[in-house]
Structure 1
Amino acid sequence: MRFAVVDIETTGGFPSQHGITEIAIVLHNGTEIEGVYETLVNPHQPIPPFVIGMTGITNAMVEAAPSFSEVAPQIYNLLKNRVFVAHNVNFDFSFVKHHLQEAGFDLHTPKLCTIRLSRKVFPGFPKYGLGHLCRQLNIEIENRHRAGGDAKATAKILDMVLQNSGERLVKEMLQKENREQLMPPNLPAHYLHDLPQEPGVYYFQNKQDKVVYVGKAKNVKKRVLSHFTGLDLSKKRQDFLREIYSIRYAICPTEFIASLLESIEIKRLWPAYNKSQKRFEQLWGIYLFEDNRGYKRLAIDKKHKNTQPLQAFSLLADAHRELWRWVREFELHPALCFLDKTIPNEWPDVQLHNQQVEKVIAWIAEEKASYIIQEKNTAILVEKGKFVGMGTIDHIEVSEPLEPTYAAAIKEAVTPYAENEVIKSMLRKYLERYPHRVVRIVE
């Protein structure tokens, strides 16, 4: 097995924004070092003072150095057909791959992280950063925080891993297509192994166990893995991955239950990296009024504090879609609902039109009835059109219509949750799609 042990120095932490100032590649055949490549690189951007202080690489030192594009062919030839090895491999690999792509080279090679290897081969150390690990293993680092010194130290760590029956482990990690290396650098591998392949809600937590992201899935393990695949080099994604220190989850009987719980938890926990359900909810409503000709008219408008619409929506598009549905199902004239701006040659009869609008209102009132949705062993309780909560009902008999005694027992079994516009929208769509799953409660 042939390895290329790589270390780089950079102007910052994100490949799309920062440049490489130095790169070193130690070629290793699995038994011994075959050669070493090392060069300074002109990043064509200023090196921040704190980086200069840490690495000792100054702007003057890289001024006469080659650009990465000049050395890219040689670097690509050294790396191809070898296993890319680095300490915290995703950092080095993401930079090298990005800058090679900009130079016209597409690097496809397996990669191996000596941090993760060392945790398995040398368990029990307090820290596994390069400096800490080398001290624990009595490896002397010459020229610390320079690419050559750090790459040679990493090569010695690889040597020690291979000498301690690490070859089998290396093969196992490569056979798994580097899944563990795609995980966030601060997330221990056992969190991934313990995830269920069932519907549920998962929580990414930071170093202080604070939830930074909540998600739902039909298959929790598969969905969590999908967060860590690909090579998104953006600052936002790398910040996100560095924040993840642990994962917890809640198994749900169905994906729909998981969707409801996800929305509840996002509103409750307000995680830093959830965006979709945290936007300001500009509510829209469908309102009823009578014009000066006696027509009862339906119109979409922004939801006002002191007025109650027939139905409210978080998105204007959803309000339009619902009103068009009413127009089609109850044979209303689009112009009398402000959906058609053209003036018709003949307006419908006022009385007949108003009767149809009354049917819409009666239908909405019917929709605001009390009912439960049963998903496997879980009931979702809605009272007078308002989401109350959900809970397990293994011991309660459910039949249509549901008698008040059974309804009271279900309410006792249900965990109450706060309603929000996302949940209201999900329930409305569910009723449209699966009306046969709804069990009405006798008032």
Structure 2
Amino acid sequence: MYAIIDLETTGGQPAQDRITEIAIFIHDGEKVVDQYETLLNPGRSIPFFITQLTGITDDMVRDAPKFHEVARKVVEMTEGCVFVAHNVRFDYSFLKKEFADLGYNYSRKTLCTVRLSRSLMPGQPSYSLGKLCQNIGIPLNGRHRAAGDAAATAILFDRLLKISQQDEALRNPTISTADTLAAVDATAPSGRRPVTGAEDAVTTKQPSARKIKAVQEAIKTALLPANITPAKMSTLPHSAGVYYFHNEAGEVIYVGKSINIYKRILQHFAIDYKSRKSIEFKNSISDITWELTGSELVALLYESHEIKRLKPLYNRAQRRSVFPAGIFLRTDENGYKRLYYGRADDHAESHPLIALGNQYKAKGFLFHKVAKFNLCQKLCDLYKTAGSCFDYQVHRCNGACIGLEPADEYNARVEQAIESFTYEHGSFVVIGKGRSELEKTVVLVENGRYLGFAYVDETFSARNINDFKEVITRYNDNKDVQQIIRQYLRTKHKDKVKLFKTTTA
């Protein structure tokens, strides 16, 4: 059984918009056997542009039932049915959100007639419901009203079933001639019957809609973007690496990483999209490419690099590629270690302990560390005074600012603060899995600075850090990669970490 559903809503974001109308047509695989439609009171005003599109006004829904009043009806009608819609993710996401607000997990198998149409009727100039129905001669009365769109989708679905039955019959000689020709006649232009080559087939039972391969495939792939085929998905590797989503123009719109690219991309497509932008994102995906890394750490680092290089539209995090400010360290004439913030250009003689996006962020970062590790604001250049700092006056500073706290006690807390955002060791290399059994990866950090990574033969050996420096590809060091490496080294990874003595410039 199939529940063909169309909704009208107050907007395109399930997280904040509501349903104003619902129509359900129950199809048994041969014909529509039941239907239900109603306006719904969304509990909020309908935007003017939505009223212009649908014709549904606030007055029309004022006395209509609210969703919770029809929820049981929707559950009962669609129980055991495949949820069918044109661009199914939109309608399905809205219904799931409405049910979730009631504390109910609404879950159905889904089938998208956009995807099924692309598969069974390739070459159409458009697969939007209105233009597709116009091009193949399906009447669409009441466009952008739930009942009108659902009725047209039901006719389209019936047409697609017959096309798929025809295809099954041509592949399967046990299907009856009469049923085959009936299916063909139903899809052919009036007055013409295509030559099927099946007139001599052995007569037997017509395939049920449940067993039609195209329909089953459409159910399995309903969650995929319209332009991503099952064949494309089958090529995705089950290995670690970086993957790229491209739009129709071939532009990279998203970069991701995973230890299993295939499974991660399936997760992308399985989630419920709750905003217009997320729905647009999914619908924009027209191709997927990838680069294998073998190593999870290299995948994390390379993803960060590619996001900064390409600045994809749908990657919000890690897009910053310039880090002009940072936190620095010096020791004063009294032996106190002093953290301070500043522009990286102003301290060219020393590399920052951590690079940050601007001085405002660097100052805020340092204030946080001062509070967490009970450091002195004056010694961190956050409080300008000739005497004690403000924190000493309110008993939050132990008096390092006026020499009351011994330098070694104060410096121990400075080191704790530094350890919270720097590496445990100054110079080291992380040796991990490669892209094959004959390869391994190396990630190099020298004097607290990330230098890059390399793929090397499994027989590669190095006597000192310079041997590693000769084989790596150089990449920029910044706050994001520092955090990636620190967090990775704190996990239960299986990589080998080789330490080197910290050198001086």
Which of 311, 318, 327 is 2:353 aligned to? 311
In the alignment, structure 1 residue 222 sits paired with structure 2 residue 221: no
After superposition, the Cα gap between the structure-2 partners of 1:126 and 1:19, relative to the gap in structure 1 and judged at 3 Å, is: same
Give per-residue Cα distances to partners, 1:94-133, cap 9 Å, x unaligned: 2223224445654222221111222222233333221233
- The one-letter code of the counterpart of 1:29 is D
Rounded to whole Å, the distance in 1 between the matches of 2:292 and 2:154 is 43
What is the alpha-carbon distance in structure 2 between the residues aligned to residue 367 and residue 429 of structure 1? 14
2:289 matches 1:289: no
- Structural RMSD (CA): 4.2
Aligned pairs (5 A) from 1:54-73: 54-73=53-72
Q: Tell me how far 1:148 sits from its aligned partner.
A: 1.5
Counterpart AA for 2:266: L
CA 1:152–1:429 in 2, change beyond 3 Å: closer, same or farther? closer
**SS of the residue aligned with 2:330?**
strand
Query: Structure 1 residue 217: deviation in Å?
Result: 0.8
1:330 aligned partner: none
How far is 1:196 from its partner?
A: 0.9
Q: Give the TM-score taking structure 2 as reference length.
A: 0.68
Residues 381 and 99 (structure 1 numbering): CA distance in 2 closer, same or farther, change over 3 Å?
A: closer
Partner secondary structure for residue 181 of structure 1? coil
Q: How far 1:36 sits from its partner (Å)?
A: 1.9
Match for residue 198 of structure 1?
239
Aligned partner of 2:339 in structure 1 is: 300
Q: Match for residue 335 of structure 1? A: none
Helix, strand or coil for the counterpart of 1:14? coil
Task: Please state how far the C-alpha of 1:428 moved relative to its aligned partner.
Answer: 5.6
2:453 maps to 390
- Residue 439 and residue 88 in structure 1: after superposition, are their counterparts in 2 closer, same or farther (change >3 A)? same
1:263 paired with 2:262, answer: no
- Unmatched runs of 5 consecutive residues or more in structure 1: 325-337
Alignment of 1:251 onto 2:295: no
What's the secondary structure of 1:212's corresponding residue? strand
Output the CA distance in 1 between the equivalents of 2:226 and 2:12: 14
| Residue identity opposite 2:68 in structure 1 | S
- Separation in structure 2 between the aligned mates of residue 81 and residue 407 of structure 1, nearest angstrom: 61
The answer (yes or no) to whether the contact 1:288–1:309 under 8 Å persists in 2 is no
Tell me the amino acid that sits aligned with residue 252 of structure 1: T
Task: Summarize deviations over 1:315-337 as a string: whole Å, max 9, x none.
Answer: 849x969x98xxxxxxxxxxxxx
- What SS does structure 2 have at the residue aligned with 1:52? helix
Per-residue CA shift, 1:109-161, capped at 9, x if unaligned?
Answer: 22211112222222333332212332343322222222222111211222222
Distance apart, 1:391 and its partner CA: 3.4
Q: Deviations over 1:302-353 (max 9, x none)?
A: 3444344673365849x969x98xxxxxxxxxxxxx9x94469x97698xx9
Counterpart CA distance in 1 for 2:108 and 2:457 is 52
Which amino acid counterpart does residue 287 of structure 1 have in structure 2? Answer: L
Distance 1:312 1:51, change over 3 A: closer
Letter in 2 for 1:211: V
Q: Percent identity?
A: 34
TM-score by length of 1: 0.76
Paired residues of 2:84 and 2:110 also in contact (CA < 8 A): yes
Please tell me whether the aligned partners of residues 431 and 496 of structure 2 are also in contact (alpha carbons under 8 angstroms).
Answer: no
Q: In the superposition, relative to structure 1, how do residues 66 and 426 fare at CA in structure 2: closer, same or farther (>3 Å)?
A: closer
- Equivalent of 2:213 in 145, 148, 169: 169
3-state SS in 1 of match to 2:302: helix
Count of residue pairs brought into register by the alignment: 409
Deviations 1:263-298 (A, max 9, x none): 11111122233233246969653522225xx3x222
**Contact map agreement 1:284 1:312 (CA 8 A) in 2:** yes
Aligned to 1:48: 47
1:400 corresponds in structure 2 to 463
Distance in 2 of aligned mates of 1:135 and 1:343: 81
Is the Cα–Cα contact under 8 Å of residues 354 and 478 in structure 2 kept in the other structure?
no
Partner of 2:107, secondary structure, is: coil
In the alignment, the residues of structure 2 paired with residue 161 and residue 134 of structure 1 have an alpha-carbon distance, to the nearest angstrom, of 12
Q: Is the 8 A contact 1:6 1:25 kept in 2?
A: yes
The aligned counterpart of 1:89 is: 88
* Residue-by-residue CA offset, 1:15-71 (whole Å, 9 max, x unaligned): 232232222111111122112212222334333333333333333433443333333
Report the Cα offset of residue 425 of structure 1: 4.1
Change (3 A) 1:286 1:27: same
Write out aligned runs for 1:26-45 (5 A): 26-45=25-44
1:261–1:64: structure 2 CA closer, same or farther, 3 Å change rule?
same
Matches within 5 A, 1:77-116: 77-103=76-102, 106-116=105-115
> 3-state SS of the aligned residue for 2:114?
helix
Tell me how far 1:82 sits from its aligned partner: 1.8
Equivalent AA in structure 2 for residue 271 of structure 1: P
- Cα distance in 2 between the residues matched to 1:121 and 1:310: 60
Looking at structure 1, the residues matched to 266 and 369 of structure 2 have their Cα atoms a distance apart, in angstroms, of 37
Alignment correspondent of 1:208: 249
Q: Contact conserved, 1:401 with 1:439, CA < 8 A, in 2?
A: no
Asked if 2 retains the 8 angstrom alpha-carbon contact of 1:42 and 1:64, the reply is yes
Which amino acid is the alignment partner of residue 297 of structure 1? Y
Of 471, 476, 500, which residue of structure 2 is paired with 1:418? 476
Name the SS of the counterpart of 2:313 in structure 1.
coil
> Residue 132 of structure 2 corresponds to which residue in structure 1?
133
